[in-house]
Amino acid sequence: MKPIIIKSLIVAVTLTVLSSSLARAEDPLASWNDGSAKQAIVEFVKATTTQGSPQFVAPETRVATFDQDGTLWVEHPIYSQVMYCLERVPALVKAKPALAKTPPFNTVLQLLHGDRAAMEKLTMKDLEKIAAATLTGMPVDEFNAEVKKWIAEAKDARWKRLYTELTYLPMQEVLRYLRANGFKTYIVTGGGQDFVRMYAEQTYGIPPEQVVGTAGGTKYSYDKNGKPFLTKEPKLLLNDNNAGKPEGIYLMIGRRPVAAFGNSTGDKQMLEYTKAGDGARLAMLVLHDDAEREYAYGPAQGLPNTKVGTFTQALYDEAKKNGWTIISMKNDWKKIFAFEP
């Protein structure tokens, strides 16, 4: 090839690369395939933020709420916070050696030593006992420091990556896109409010005051030098699941969301409450139908059943009936994780 042709080729290739990366930079939802889900988001944002639009929403009332587990990050095979609780047990046992022989803590030790069958032995009551022992009874500063340390180190067994790397890139794009359009983004999670607050700002750009979750009481007291501190009490104030989600939103935000995102029956009432408001509303449910790139579970649409993040056919039917949009991980998401090549 003559140099001039090579040069032209280089210029052409460069221009192509440049223009395609420019196009990508311009698309705030670049990890989404074109389709009804992506379209629903873009149309909702245009309708609610264009001055003069009949569906215009005043900036101060632009509230969008997001479930976390299964909506913003991976929740299978088990919620990350449950892993935290289990992995805190050795420290509990170290502090109180008698626990090594006390159920359910002995079962957790077996599980952590590789006996996977031990997981089956743990009942809901056992898990509640473990949660109470690992999430309450200590000063809030101590708990918060432990969570920060764990979240900076603990890794998921399948991807061998930090849990905070297992957030869904398409949903991160939605968070940023909504914020860029004047929406205040909230997490409304069945998970522990204090737990999620420890990483939500860094992971999702969502500050602690915009994290609503299952919350327990605290108790104000003084140390021996008269310095006040708060202790986490085993007293449930808000069970932020199912009907608890709209109740928690009313308590903590005091405004009805105009957009809400979930993925399971626990989000049903939040989406109903969101849609019951006047004007444009966006309600979306992530369907985990991608066994290859992530997990597949429902049991909606014949997907395998699960106890973690259940998406029933009844929920699917309610969504179709009420104009909620289903997000198919398999079809709507070009890329699931930021670390994918």
Interatomic CA distance for residues 234 and 104, integer angstroms = 18
How far apart are the C-alpha atoms of 9 and 2, rounded to whole Å?
11
* Distances 1 to 6, 17, 177, 190 between C-alpha atoms, Å: 6, 22, 46, 64
Per-residue binder mask for its own copies (CB under 8 A), 254-293, x = binder:
xx-------------x--xx--x-----------------
Interacting residues of 163 by C-beta distance below 8 A, sequence separation 6+: 73, 74, 80, 83, 151, 154, 155, 156
Q: How many residues bind its own copies (CB under 8 A)?
A: 35
Give the interface segment with its own copies, choosing from 67-75, 120-128, 223-231, 284-292 (CB under 8 A). Answer: 223-231
Residue 314: which residues within 8 A CB-CB, separation 6 or more? none
* 138 vs 243, beta carbon nearer its own copies: 243
State in angstroms the smallest separation of the CB of 292 from its own copies: 37
Could you tell me which residues come within 8 angstroms of residue 23 by beta carbon, excluding any fewer than 6 positions away?
none
Q: Which is nearer to its own copies, 27 or 247 (CB)?
A: 247
Q: Is 317 in the site for its own copies (CB under 8 A)?
A: no
Q: Which stretch binds its own copies (CB under 8 A): 8-16, 83-91, 161-169, 204-212?
A: 204-212
Q: How far is the CB of 228 from its own copies (least distance, A)?
A: 5
DSSP letter string, 166-200? -B-HHHHHHHHHHHHTTPEEEEEEEEEHHHHHTTH
Q: How far apart, in whole angstroms, are the C-alpha atoms of residue 236 and residue 195?
A: 15
Give the nearest distance from C-beta 221 to its own copies in angstroms. Answer: 8
Of these, 101, 148, 219, 320, which contacts its own copies (CB under 8 A)?
219
Contact 275, 322 (CB under 8 A): yes
Residues from 224 through 253 that contact its own copies (CB under 8 A): 227-230, 237-238, 243, 246-247, 250-253
Sole binder of its own copies in the list 75, 194, 240, 294 (CB under 8 A): 194
Q: For residue 27, give every residue at least 6 positions away whose Cβ sits within 8 Å of its Cβ, in sequence order, or none.
A: none
Residue ranges binding its own copies (CB under 8 A): 60, 140, 184, 193-194, 197, 201, 207-209, 211, 215, 217-220, 227-230, 237-238, 243, 246-247, 250-255, 269, 272-273, 276
